[in-house]
Amino acid sequence: MSNPPAPLSTWAQNVSPSPTIAVDTKAKALAAAGEDVCGFGAGEPDFDTPEHIKDACIAALRAGKTKYAPTPGIEPLRQAIVDRYAAEYGLKATTSQVIVSPGGKFNCYLGVIATCSPGDEVIVPAPYWVSYPEMVKLAGAVPKFVLADDRTGFRLTPQMVESAITPRTKLLILNSPSNPTGAVYTRAELEAIVAVALKHNLYILSDEMYEHLVYDGVKPTCVATLSKEAEVRTITVAGFSKTYAMTGWRIGTTLAPAPIAKAISELQSQMSSNVSTFAQYGALAALTEKEKTAAALKTMLAAFDRRRKYLHAELNKIPGITCQLAQGAFYLFPNITSFGLKDQDFCARLLEQEKVAAVPGSAFGAEGYLRLSYATSDEIIAKGVGRLAKFCAGLKR
């Protein structure tokens, strides 16, 4: 008899599968089996990609844009990205600072591996997006979690950051608006936190994936614009997935100082090469056909805002639940600690008894909460929150 195959690598053995994808997959499987599931798990808009973006991609495909393209992206798209940072934030950059990657997730990962060596420490604010700790570990670096719960509106204070810094700290991850909480930092709050990072000469990975999904007149802050010192240390990640309902297209962007951008592009050249060439032409249309894109975004934002307010009001009517009104992204992060159940058990029972899919806060490093995505229809939200109320009424407090 032959020997069993050798064990897989430590990377393969230590990586945790994405819990948000797991919840979504389970909910979709239940729905496929005929169950009437209310899914609050998915982190993707329920809208389709706007037509003019699809049309531009189809035209590119028909025009033979089917070959390899430059690793960091087609030049017109990189220029359009430079132009939009100038128009939206007054940030002056050149195309040599822009890398288009296969999804914002990969942009984040490249940002981590471009800056961190094995043993370096990375400050990861919790609640965190599920992929940050895994990316840091895959770089051989060490995530240092700093928890900001609902008592500080899920936002770190400069003191919290300062107390987590050691001589090994290399990178600070920021994510405003946040997945999973929807929290948005003010410019002044970010200035104070970035001042701490600059004092210790840290790099900053600012994940601004949800920058355009903000409500109540809130303005997003582009961390790289806070100061010249911040700009030369900040890797800004953004993308098309959430803003333009393009999750399946897999297109994210990095804007970084030229030396870092060069390193990231070289890493990408060995790992994935360019994003699908014709898909990049769709992304280009999202940025250049401004009126059509603005109209589509306005419709999506109005729907998200309406659902956000409704879900927030309904959640706070449920005895035992308290929920802050987040000002960004498409998530609410209610506190369920009064029920005295572990959040994973709460979610498992909620799915089993009421067919409502939610992600436990512990998946994001914050036990005692739920992440509810309102990027789903008004009908599902109304039905789902009704079932959640019924479920909570049956729990002891």
Ligand X SMILES: Cc1ncc(COP(=O)(O)O)c(C=O)c1O
Q: Which residues bind ligand X (CB under 6 A)?
A: 43, 103-105, 108, 129, 175, 179, 207, 209, 239, 241, 247, 252
Q: Which is nearer to ligand X, 189 or 354 (CB)?
A: 189
Q: Which is nearer to ligand X, 43 or 127 (CB)?
A: 43
Least Cβ distance, residue 42 to ligand X (angstroms): 9
Least Cβ distance, residue 294 to ligand X (angstroms): 21
Q: Which is nearer to ligand X, 41 or 252 (CB)?
A: 252
Give dist(CA 281, CA 67) in Å, integer: 13
Q: Which is nearer to ligand X, 282 or 318 (CB)?
A: 282
Least Cβ distance, residue 142 to ligand X (angstroms): 21
Beta carbons within 8 Å of 43's beta carbon, 6+ residues apart: 20, 179, 242, 330, 331, 373, 375
Least Cβ distance, residue 117 to ligand X (angstroms): 23
Q: Which is nearer to ligand X, 125 or 239 (CB)?
A: 239
Give dist(CA 298, CA 214) in Å, integer: 11
Q: Find tokens 């090469």 and name the residue.
A: 273
Give dist(CA 298, CA 309) in Å, integer: 17
Least Cβ distance, residue 109 to ligand X (angstroms): 10
Least Cβ distance, residue 174 to ligand X (angstroms): 10
Give dist(CA 6, CA 107) in Å, integer: 32
Q: Which is nearer to ligand X, 72 or 252 (CB)?
A: 252
Least Cβ distance, residue 392 to ligand X (angstroms): 27
Spatial CA neighbour of 99 closest among 278, 285, 263: 263
Q: Which is nearer to ligand X, 252 or 361 (CB)?
A: 252
Q: Which is nearer to ligand X, 18 or 96 (CB)?
A: 18
Least Cβ distance, residue 55 to ligand X (angstroms): 21
Least Cβ distance, residue 74 to ligand X (angstroms): 18
Q: Which is nearer to ligand X, 131 or 265 (CB)?
A: 131
